[in-house]
């Protein structure tokens, strides 16, 4: 189940063929999902930024921090160099190290025989799945990263309780992985923007969809969650990945990443004190940035033409979060805790009352 299956069209832009981050040509996504016994509910997701080895062919990139109680490794080199040189992986908080090491090993294996000693600073993001998952059991292992790499493909992206999103909770409902895309009109360049989220953030009372107070209408959170704010609300974290085919420079990628935070806000996310809300954006419109040549010719989209990309990333982020909520099924995990799905029928009832959808 996805938002558009219910007649919910977020914003006014048009999605790509798969309505996924993979609509940006060359982007590939792979998941390894780990569900076992009563308390293993976790996994890893790997995203390749384009169709070649990013270690040999980096792309321009930029990042934004809405709130920093989280981790997305490798950002200092991205900020320094303005380039993304590795795949990106998403997992749970306590598995960042093993996933990072596995990506280093992958990069080294890809570069064996190169003239220089291979090295890598992989990008690995996390959100906390310790409510449904035995996060301190360290169930994600290197071979699971290898499986996600092997599974990475274009086209349709599985969503919900899959990969790194397996044990995640979003706005008091079952959350996880979600994705969406927008294709700009030819008059605005025809560029594609794709977004993928690992959504594990937000209080139910704040959840809004196309302006309708869905969370408030559907009642209080029932999940006994740690880390609550003084008013009883829950924070949490979200990682947002933004890809575009537009020819952007690093500072423009950073501007694009910043606008994804507005998509988080439109669904009710607030970047609370205990939330880790980290965003990475990259642009594939300039290629051939690697190699030994001393100079590169690059193309830059004029800043005066960038607003349609901003609108696209805001809408795609909001829709990706909603897709994560709708795709995730009810899950019972560690200690018998149950995170319920966002019921599409109840959602439609609320949206009809507020005139968001017809019916």
CA-closest candidate to residue 320, choices 255, 238, 258, 202: 238
Residue 309 has pLDDT above 50, yes or no: yes
Count of CB atoms within 10 A of residue 305's CB? Answer: 13
Radius of gyration (C-alpha) of the chain in whole angstroms:
19
The model's pTM is 0.96
Residues 6+ apart with CB under 8 A from 144: 32, 34, 43, 44
CA-closest candidate to residue 317, choices 66, 81, 143: 66
Q: What does the pLDDT look like over 223-274, one tens digit per residue? A: 655 444 444 445 689 999 999 999 999 999 999 999 999 999 999 999 999 8
Coil, strand, or helix at residue 126? strand
Q: Which domains does the chain have, with CATH numbers?
A: 3-26+52-85+164-353 (3.60.70.12)
Task: Give the residue numbers annotated as catalytic, written as ranges.
Answer: 237, 275, 277
- CB 172, CB 214: distance < 8 Å: no
Q: What does the pLDDT look like over 58-114, one tens digit per residue? A: 999 999 999 999 999 999 999 999 999 999 999 999 999 999 999 999 999 987 666
Q: What is the mean pLDDT of the chain?
A: 94
Give the DSSP letter string of 276-330: EEEEEEEE-SS----SS-S--------GGG-HHHHHHHHHHHHHHHHHHHHHPPP
Nearest-10 crossing angle of helices 142-151, 96-111: 60
- CB 324, CB 178: distance < 8 Å: yes
Alpha carbons 186 and 190: distance in angstroms, whole number: 4
């Amino acid at each position: 189940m996805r938002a558009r299956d219910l007649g919910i069209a977020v914003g006014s832009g048009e999605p790509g063929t798969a309505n996924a981050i993979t609509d940006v040509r060359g982007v590939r996504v792979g998941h390894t999902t780990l569900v076992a016994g009563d308390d293993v509910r976790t996994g890893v997701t790997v995203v390749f930024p384009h169709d070649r080895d990013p270690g040999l062919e980096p792309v321009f990139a930029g990042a934004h921090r809405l709130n920093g109680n989280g981790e997305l490794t490798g950002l200092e080199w991205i900020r320094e160099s303005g380039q993304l040189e590795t795949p990106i992986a998403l997992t749970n908080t306590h598995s960042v190290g093993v996933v990072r090491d596995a990506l280093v090993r992958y990069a080294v294996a890809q570069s064996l025989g190169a003239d220089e000693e291979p090295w890598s600073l992989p990008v690995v993001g996390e959100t906390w799945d310790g409510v449904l998952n035995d996060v301190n059991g360290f169930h994600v292992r290197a071979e699971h990263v290898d499986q996600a790499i092997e599974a990475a493909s274009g086209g349709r992206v599985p969503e919900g309780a899959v990969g790194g999103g397996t044990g995640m909770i979003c706005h008091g409902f079952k959350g996880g992985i979600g994705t969406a895309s927008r294709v700009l009109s030819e008059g605005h360049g025809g560029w594609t923007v794709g977004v993928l989220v690992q959504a594990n953030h937000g209080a139910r009372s704040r959840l809004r969809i196309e302006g309708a107070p869905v969370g408030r209408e559907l009642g209080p959170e029932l999940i006994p969650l740690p880390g609550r704010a003084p008013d009883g609300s829950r924070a949490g974290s979200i990682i947002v990945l933004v890809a575009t085919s537009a020819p952007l420079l690093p500072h423009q990628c950073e501007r694009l990443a910043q606008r994804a935070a507005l998509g988080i806000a439109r669904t009710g996310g607030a970047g609370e004190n205990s939330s880790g809300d980290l965003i990475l954006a990259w642009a594939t419109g300039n290629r051939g940035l690697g190699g030994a040549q001393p100079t590169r010719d690059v193309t830059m989209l004029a800043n005066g033409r960038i607003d349609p990309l901003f609108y696209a990333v805001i809408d795609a982020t909001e829709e990706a979060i909603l897709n994560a909520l709708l795709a995730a099924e009810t899950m019972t995990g560690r200690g018998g805790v149950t995170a319920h799905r966002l019921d599409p029928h109840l959602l439609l009832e609320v949206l009809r009352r507020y005139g968001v959808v017809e019916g």
